[in-house]
Structure 1
Amino acid sequence: MMDQQTVDTIKRLMEWEAARTALPEGFPPLPDMPAGRYTSQEYYDLEQQYIWKKSWLFAAHLDEVPEPGSFMQWDNAGQPLIIVHGMDGVVRAFYNTCRHRGAPVVTVQSGRSPRLMCGYHNWTYKTDGELVGIPESQDFGSNFDKSCRSLIGVRCEMYGKLIFVNLDDNAISLRDWMGPLWDEWAEFGFDRMRLAARQSFDLKCNWKVAMEANMEVYHVPFIHAETVAPLVDHKRNVNTIFPGGHARMIAPPPKNTNREHVRAIDNPPEWQSVETVGELGRTTTQSYTMFPNWVSPLSNFFIPPLIFWPTSLNTTRLELITMALDWGDGPVPDLWTEPDDSIEGGGGRRMNAIIQEDTQFGEAIQKSMESDGFKSVPLSYQEARIYSFHQTCDKMIGLDRVPPHLAVEQVIGQDWVWPNDPRVAQMERQVETA
C-alpha cells in the first residue's frame, strides 16, 4: 500500500505535469521503434520463445478450481496445460499430456475428480501428478519405474486468489517478478475478490497493437471523447516506470467535474467497497501494466484486468475479466461487456463502448502497418510506458538475439525507473525558485 508521502508526491506531480511546457529535464528523446516489431514473423517467433515461455502469466482465478479435485484446461500460452486444485489443497499446473502415448489426460474443459485418468489407456494420476495406475502393468516389465512417469509440472504460484504459471522451470518467483507491485497491490484485496466475469474476444491485429491502446492516455481526448475523456484529466496523468517492464498510471478526474470520486469506469453503488483501498484508488483512475500482457485499473470496487494473448502474428485473443467482492443476490458485475441479443440463441455478450473504442481500429491499423508506408513508430513522453515495455521485450529475448533492424535502443535508463524519479527533484527546485 502506498504511504502518505508517496500519495502526496503523486498529487503534486499531477499539477506539475499539467503545468510543464517541455519534456522533463533529462528525459531521453525516444528513438523510432522499427515497424517490424508489429509485422515481422521473425520478431513474433522470438517473442514466443523468450517472452511467453519465460514470463509469469495469469491463468485462472481460484473460483475456477474452487475445491480439492477441481481442474480446468488452459492453453492461452500455446501449450496444453491443466490447472489442478489438489486433494491436499495445493494448486498446481501440469502439461495436459499423458506420460504413456501423449494423449491428453483431461478432455473436458473443467471438472472435479480425486484422480486424473487418461481416456486412451486409462493411465491414472493423483491430483499431485503422481502416476498411480497402469492397466496390465506386468506387460511393461519388472524394471518399469512408475515414479519416473508423473505428469510433468509447470511452475505455478498465486497472488491472492489469482493463479499464475510460468513455463520456465528456472524462472524467478512470482513475487520477485512482480517487484513493487506485490506490495503496492496489497490494498486492493486480491485475496478476497471473487471472479464475476471472464469473456474472450478475437481481434485481427498484433497483440501489442491491441495492448498499447491501453498503455497511454494520449488518445483519450480523441477516441474516448464521450466516455473516458469527461472522467480523466490526461494532462495531470502521472506515469511511473517500474522494473521488469511493469508500469503505473494515475489520472485524476478533471477539476471542473461536478461529481466526486469519478473514474474512467464509475462505481456502481450496490457493490461492496474494499475498505483497505487508499485515497488514490478511491478518487482517481489508477491503472497498472504487468509485463507481459496484463493491463488493469484497480479501485475499491473492482479488479478488472484486460489480458492480451497472441494467437498469431496478426491476431489476438482479448480476455475481459471482472473481479469484485461478494455481490450476494445482486446483479453479477461485468465491467467490460454487456448483453448482446443479436447473437443467435441469446445469452451472448459484446464489448462495452469503452473497449469497442479501444479495439475499433485494430484490424485497420494492422493492415496499414503491413503496407510499405509503415516505416517506424515515434513515441512521445506520454507514451513512455510503451517504449519501456518494448525495451523489456528485447531484454527478455536477449539483446544479442534481436536483429538490429528489429531492436529498440535501450535509452530509458535506471535513473527513470522506480524508485528513482528525477521529476520530483525538478518539481521541488521549481517550487523553491518560484
Structure 2
Amino acid sequence: MVMDPAYIAQIKNLMEWEAARTAPPEGFPHLPDLPAGRYTSQEYYDLEQQHIWKKSWLFAAHIDEVPEPGCFMKWENTGDPIIIVHGMDGKVRAFYNTCRHRGAPVVTQEKGRSPRLMCGYHNWTYKTDGELVGVPDKQDFTGLDMSCRSLIPVKCERLGNLIFVNFDDEAMPLKEWLGPVCDDLEEFQLDKIRLASRYSFDLNCNWKVAMEANMEVYHVPFIHPDTVSPLVDHRRNVNTMFANGHARMLAPAPADTDREHTRAIDSPPEWQEIDTVGEFGRTCTQSYTLFPNWVSPVSNYFVPPLVFWPTGLNTTRLELITMALDWGDGPAPDLWTVPDETKPNGRNMSQIILEDTQFGEMIQKSLESDGFKGVPLSYQEARIYSFHQTCDKMIGLDNVPEHLAVEQVIGDEWVYPNDPRVAQMEQLEAAE
C-alpha cells in the first residue's frame, strides 16, 4: 500500500520543520542515560536470551532457500536447532531439529530435499508436516503412541517470500506484530522479490552496539563523510516510532544533490525496478527497524536487510542480505558485500558497512572499562531509546533489575499514529 498524498505532504513538511527547529519538539521527554550494564552485563544478556529471542518474530529464511515441496534447511541463529521445511502440501513450517526418540538431530545437512525426514541415529522417520510415520522394530516399544511423537513445531509465518519464526506459541500473528510497518512494506512487493545474496560476518561487540550504528543518522557526517553524508541530510531526517519497537526513518538528500543520486546507496541500472514503490522509496533514504534485530533501507530496486544475531555477550553475527526482483541470467545483485578471497565465503563487507562496523570492537572494550558509566542519547537518537524501552517490555518490566532498567519515558503519544510534532508544526505555520 503506497502512502497517501496527504501523508506524504505531511512528512515533507516535517522534514523542513525538523531542519528548522532549534531544540527537540515541545514536550519530548528527557532521555535518561542508558545503564552501562545493558551492553556488558551477563545478567542482562541472559534476560535477552530468555525473553526477547524467545518471544519476538525473527527473520529466518527466504522462500528461495526452500523453494520446492520437500526442501528443508537448518537454522540455528538463536542457538536452538531448527529445521525450516517446505512441506509436500506446499506449506512452510518450522520444527525443532530434535528427534522424539533420543534427541539426535533429524537433519544434519545444511540444506536438502526429501519427501521424508529421517533421523540418522535410529531411522525414526517423519513426514514434512512433522508427523512420525516410521519406527524400526516398533514392536519392542511398549505403549508407544506415534501420534504423540511428532516433531515439535516452532511458530512459523510468511510475509510474502520472507519466512519468520517465533518460539512463543502464544505470540500474536506476524502481521499484527508488524502493524503499520506491514502496510508500508506492501509497495516493495515482498511476495515477488528474490533472495540475491546472504552472507554472514562475525563482529567482536555486543549485538546492540553493532545494530545501533544503523538506527540513527547523527553519526553520518562523521563516519560516512564521502559515502552516505553527501546523499543524506541528517538534519531533515524524520523518525517515526511504531508499536512493538519498530521504527522508520525518512532522510531526504541534501538540497544541492544531483537528483539522479538521491539515496545513500545507488542502484545499478541493470536491476529490475519495483514499479509500485512510492515517492519516498525513490527519492529518500527510507529505512525500517523491525524489532528486535532487522534494519533495512528499502528502495525501488531492493530490500537489503542487515540482521544482527548475538553469539555471546560481546560477539555478534551480522547477516548482510540483498533481495530484489528477478535479475534473469545476469549476476545476482549484492548490495552489501564485495569479492575478497581472503574473507569468509570469498566476500568482504562494502565500504558503508565497514565504516559502520569499524569501531565495534574498540567500543566494546571501552564499554567494559571503568570509564563507561552510561549512554546519554539525543532527540536524534530517540529510535535507540525506544528500542531499549521495548527490550525491557519484552523481558518484563518487573524482571529487569533496577540498575539495568531504562525508564519508560517515551509514551504512546509519540508512537504512530500519534505525533505531537504535527500539531506543533501546524501551529507554527498558522502563526507565520
* C-alpha distance in 2 between matches for 1:18 and 1:330: 42
Counterpart for residue 323 of structure 1: 323
* C-alpha distance in 1 between matches for 2:291 and 2:327: 30
1:209-252 CA-to-partner distances (Å, cap 9, x unmatched) read: 00000000000000000100001010110000101100000001
Give the superposition deviation at 1:341.
3.2
1:156/1:343 CA distance change after superposition, 3 Å:
closer
Give the superposition deviation at 1:261.
4.8
Moved more, 255-264 or 241-250: 255-264
- Alignment of structure 1 residues 6-405 onto 2, 5 Å: 6-141=7-142, 143-343=143-343, 348-405=346-403
Give the superposition deviation at 1:332.
1.2
Give the superposition deviation at 1:331.
2.2
* C-alpha distance in 2 between matches for 1:228 and 1:124: 52
1:344-393 CA-to-partner distances (Å, cap 9, x unmatched) read: 9xx60000100000000000000000000000100000000000000000
TM-score when normalising by structure 1: 0.98
Query: How many residues are aligned here?
Result: 431
Whichever residue aligns with residue 214 of structure 1, its letter is: N
* C-alpha distance in 2 between matches for 1:261 and 1:147: 59
Structure 2: which 5+ residue stretches go unaligned?
A: none
Whichever residue aligns with residue 151 of structure 1, its letter is: L
SS at match of 2:169: coil
Alignment partner for residue 413 of structure 2, among 408, 412, 415? 415
Counterpart for residue 422 of structure 2: 424
Whichever residue aligns with residue 111 of structure 2, its letter is: S
Give the superposition deviation at 1:182.
1.2
* C-alpha distance in 2 between matches for 1:167 and 1:153: 9
* C-alpha distance in 2 between matches for 1:197 and 1:260: 26
CA contact (8 A) 2:231 2:261 kept: no
* C-alpha distance in 2 between matches for 1:372 and 1:114: 57
CA contact (8 A) 2:85 2:94 kept: yes
* C-alpha distance in 1 between matches for 2:259 and 2:273: 18
1:54-87 CA-to-partner distances (Å, cap 9, x unmatched) read: 1000000000000000000000011000000000
* C-alpha distance in 2 between matches for 1:159 and 1:48: 24
CA contact (8 A) 1:261 1:282 kept: no
Give the superposition deviation at 1:260.
2.7
SS at match of 1:405: helix
Q: Identity over aligned residues, as a percent? A: 76
CA contact (8 A) 1:296 1:304 kept: yes
* C-alpha distance in 2 between matches for 1:125 and 1:343: 38
SS at match of 2:391: helix
CA contact (8 A) 2:246 2:290 kept: yes
* C-alpha distance in 1 between matches for 2:76 and 2:329: 33
Whichever residue aligns with residue 15 of structure 2, its letter is: M
CA contact (8 A) 1:261 1:284 kept: no
**Runs of 4+ displaced beyond 3 Å:** 341-344
Structure 1: which 5+ residue stretches go unaligned?
A: none
1:6-34 CA-to-partner distances (Å, cap 9, x unmatched) read: 11110110111001111111101111110
Whichever residue aligns with residue 7 of structure 1, its letter is: I
SS at match of 2:404: coil
Whichever residue aligns with residue 28 of structure 1, its letter is: P
Moved more, 383-392 or 332-341: 332-341
